[in-house]
Amino acid sequence: MPKCPHPRRAPSPSDVERRLDALEARFQGRGRDLEELLASRGISRRSFLKWTSMMTAALWLPPTFERSVARAAAVATRVPVVWLHLQECTGCTESALRTAYPGISELILEYLSFDYHETIMAPAGEAAEKSLEDTLENHRGAYLCVMEGSIPTAMDGKFLRLGPKGETGLSLARRVAAGAKAVIAIGHCASYGGPQAAAPNPTGAKPVHEALGIQTIRIPGCPYNGVNLVGTILHLLLTGEVPALVDGRPAWAYSKRIHDTCPRRAHFDAGEFVEQWGDEGARKGFCLYKVGCKGPYTWNNCNEMQWNEAASFPIRAGHGCIGCSEDAFWDDMAPLEKPLADGAVAIPFLKGVEGSVDTVGWTLIGATAVGIAGHAVYSAAMKKSKPGQDGEEGSHGA
């Protein structure tokens, strides 16, 4: 479980500048120019600098790094990225691409220099394959690999075949990961397996790090928050290192519990809860714990970063957290709109039978009460039918 990591030494500013010089020289002319993109969307330089301040703070860097963050953002649209779609719904890609009013994070994501991205790349078939092979060869050790989706491992991965040669997802992912500077697993599926890894997991779906046996930077969420991916890419560009991780997730984004930073937390402590959707408590913005909020078991930065350029996020909009950045949340946290006390648990010794912990608990208490009553009646009957045998035969004392 996440804990506060020991703070790393801040990167040296001169090292960062040297690294950015090298990256700028190497990837000159590739991809799109960020300044042009910003201008084309009518985003002012001032807005951009405000955004860099936000990102610098989010990455736990001192304000002196704002300039470097701005440079890294400009490099970010030039560094080659291979984005693989594995066993997934493309919701993570959609959430980044379909923003009505893309903010700067979304804009950078949209214009990352995708050498291979199955949803949005222009080439198809053999041409797309060639683009992938060229990147793997020409930018070996320098390209970033983003993986979206879990990897089915049952039947040698035959549940997922991709491209004109019908390569399995397992084989493609292994090949791409081998030469990548870093492998970023985005979304719950790539990070923890997603719904397809939920019991009984017929396809043997595994998160990327388990399927390939490599270290990934996990950016879970369903979908993930674009800010967390851009921040991680910026961190990689600035320092050349994987950011400090907790449970494989960047500490700067995933080391705080939703419950502890929740805007409704005061209502939790006061014992004020939404009892059902649309009631008085819901109108007053009370705590969503009783309608299934899983914030107490979830680590993410939704409260601080929010979504869609800080427009809102689920708890603020009136629905509890579903715990989508936690391992096995499909199995653990269901039903999503009921508190855990009403969640189903497998009943011990009764294979396949499920009940809530409360049902199991009260059944246990009830069975005990029935047993006690039964024994009491039995004892009384025994004593009555055999008077004089209520223990008088035994020897007393020592």
Binding site for other proteins (CB under 8 A): 1-4, 257, 259-260, 266-273, 275, 280, 284, 289-290, 294, 296-297, 323, 326-328, 332-333, 339-343, 345, 357-358, 360-362, 364-365, 367-369, 371-372, 375-376, 378-379, 382-383, 386, 389-391, 393-398
Q: Which is nearer to other proteins, 286 or 313 (CB)?
A: 286
**3-class secondary-structure state, position 115:** strand
Closer to other proteins by Cβ: residue 137 or 393: 393
* Closer CB to other proteins, 83 or 273, in the complex: 273
* In the complex, least distance from residue 334 CB atom to other proteins, rounded to whole angstroms: 10
| β-strand pairing of 205-206 with 151-152 | antiparallel
User: Measured from the CB atom, is 95 or 300 closer to other proteins?
Assistant: 300
Question: Smallest distance from the beta carbon of 377 to other proteins, in angstroms?
Answer: 12
What tokens does 310 get? 């800080």
CB nearer other proteins, residue 213 or residue 394: 394
Cα dihedral angle (185, 116, 96, 260), rounded to 10 degrees? 10
We find the least distance from the C-beta atom of residue 335 to other proteins, in angstroms, to be: 13
For residue 236, the minimal CB distance to other proteins (Å) is: 28
Write down the least CB distance from residue 303 to other proteins, Å: 15
Distance CA 19, CA 23 (A): 6
Rounded to an integer, what distance in angstroms lies between the CA atom of residue 277 and that of residue 267? 16
Q: Copy the structure tokens of residue 81.
A: 């990225």
Give the bridge partners for 114, in sequence order. Answer: 81
Q: Least CB distance from residue 194 to other proteins, whole Å?
A: 15
To other proteins, the closest distance from the beta carbon of 360 in angstroms equals 6
Determine the Cα–Cα distance for residues 368 and 386; give it in Å rounded to an integer. Answer: 27
Closer CB to other proteins, 277 or 362, in the complex? 362
Between 30 and 338, name the residue whose CB sits nearer to other proteins.
Answer: 338
Q: Which residues are bridge partners to 221 per DSSP? A: none
Q: Which residue has the tokens 């990934």?
A: 216
Cite the DSSP H helix spans in the chain. Answer: 13-26, 34-40, 45-58, 66-76, 91-97, 104-110, 125-138, 169-178, 187-192, 208-212, 226-239, 251-254, 265-269, 280-284, 302-305, 314-317, 329-332, 357-385
